[in-house]
Amino acid sequence: MANQIVLDGIGTSGGRKSAHPIRQLRTLLAPATGQQSNALCLSPSPVACWRMDDVRFGFDSSFVLPGARAELRLLKAVIDENPRCPASVFGHADPTGDDEYNKQLSGRRAMSVYALVTRDTAKWEELFTSSFGGDRWGAPEIQIMLATVEASAGGASVEGSTTLSSADQIQAVRAFQRENGLVVDGIAGPRTREKLFLAYMTALCTDDTTGEVLRLDPRVDFLGHAADAGGKGDVQGCGEFNPVLVFSSEEAQQFAAMQDHAGRDDQNVCNRRVVVFLFPKDSRIDPVNWPCPRTKDGTGACRKRFWSDGERRRTPAGNRRLYERDRDTFACRFYDRLAMSSPCEGAGEQSMFIVRLCDGEDKPIKNARCRVVHGQRIISGEANENGEILVQALREPPVCTIEWGFPGGPETEFSYSVELFVDVDTDDADVAASRRLHNLGYSSGPTMSDDVRGFQLDHGMTETGQLADIRAKLTEWHDGGDPPRGD
Amino acid sequence: MTRVHTVAQGEHAASIAARYGFQDYETVWQHPENAALRKKRDPNVLLPGDELAIPDSITTPVACSSGAIHRFVLKGTRLLLRLRPLDAARSPMPRTSVELRTNSGTQNATTDDSGVVEIALSVRDREGVIIIGDREIPVNIGYLDPVEEQSGWQARLINLGYLAPFIDEPDPIELRGALEEFQHDHGLTLTGEPDPDTLSKVRDVHGS
DSSP of B14-76, one letter per residue? HHHHHHTT-SSHHHHHTSGGGHHHHHH-BTTB--TT-EEEEEPPPP------TTS--------
The verdict on a CB contact (< 8 Å) between A40 and B167 is: no
Cβ neighbors of B75 (< 8 A, separation 6 or more) are: B23, B24
DSSP string, A118-174: HT-HHHHHHHHHS-BTTB---HHHHHHHHHHHHHHTT----TT-----HHHHHHHHH
Measured in angstroms, the CA of B57 and the nearest CA of chain A are apart by: 21
Whether ipTM exceeds 0.85 = yes
Within a 10 A sphere around the Cβ of A376, how many other Cβ atoms?
12
Measured in angstroms, the CA of A79 and the nearest CA of chain B are apart by: 17
Q: What is the residue type of A353?
A: F
Residue A25: list chain B partners with CB under 8 A: 138, 165-167
Taking the whole predicted model, whether its pTM rises above 0.90 is answered as no
In degrees, rounded to 5, the angle at the alpha carbon of residue A293 between the alpha carbons of residues A292 and A296 is 140
What does the pLDDT read at residue A481? 52
Which residue of A37, A82, A345 to mutate against B (max B Cβ within 10 Å)? A37
Rounded CA gap, A117 and B54, in Å?
A: 65
Residue B178: list chain A partners with CB under 8 A: 337
Among B88, B155, B192, whose Cβ lies nearest the Cβ of A223?
B88
Positions in chain A short of pLDDT 50 = 158-161, 484, 486-487
Write b or e for each residue in A67-79: b if 16 or more Cβ atoms lie within 10 A of its Cβ, otherwise e: ebbebbbbbbbbb
Query: DSSP H helical segments within A366-428, as ranges?
Result: none
What does the pLDDT read at residue A376? 67
What does the pLDDT read at residue A427? 65
Rounded CA gap, B30 and A192, in Å?
A: 80
Measured in angstroms, the CA of B61 and the nearest CA of chain A are apart by: 28
Phi-psi region of B205 (alpha: psi -120 to 50; beta: other; left: phi over 0): alpha
A-B C-beta contacts closer than 8 Å? 198
In terms of Cβ atoms closer than 10 Å to its own Cβ (0-12, 13-18, 19+), residue A48 is buried
Within a 10 A sphere around the Cβ of A160, how many other Cβ atoms?
6
Within a 10 A sphere around the Cβ of A257, how many other Cβ atoms?
7
Among A35, A39, A42, whose Cβ lies nearest the Cβ of B135?
A42
- Neighbouring-strand partners of residue A370: A381, A404
Quote the distance between the C-alpha of residue A352 and its chain's center: 18
The verdict on a CB contact (< 8 Å) between A30 and B139 is: no
Positions in chain B short of pLDDT 70 = 1, 58, 166-168
B107 three-state secondary structure: strand
Residue B85: list chain A partners with CB under 8 A: 40-42
Give, to the nearest 10 degrees, the angle between helix A99-118 and helix A121-129. 150
Among B80, B89, B167, whose Cβ lies nearest the Cβ of A32?
B80
Among B45, B85, B181, whose Cβ lies nearest the Cβ of A42?
B85
A176 three-state secondary structure: helix
The verdict on a CB contact (< 8 Å) between B184 and A334 is: no
The verdict on a CB contact (< 8 Å) between A28 and B144 is: yes
Rounded CA gap, A264 and A267, in Å?
A: 5
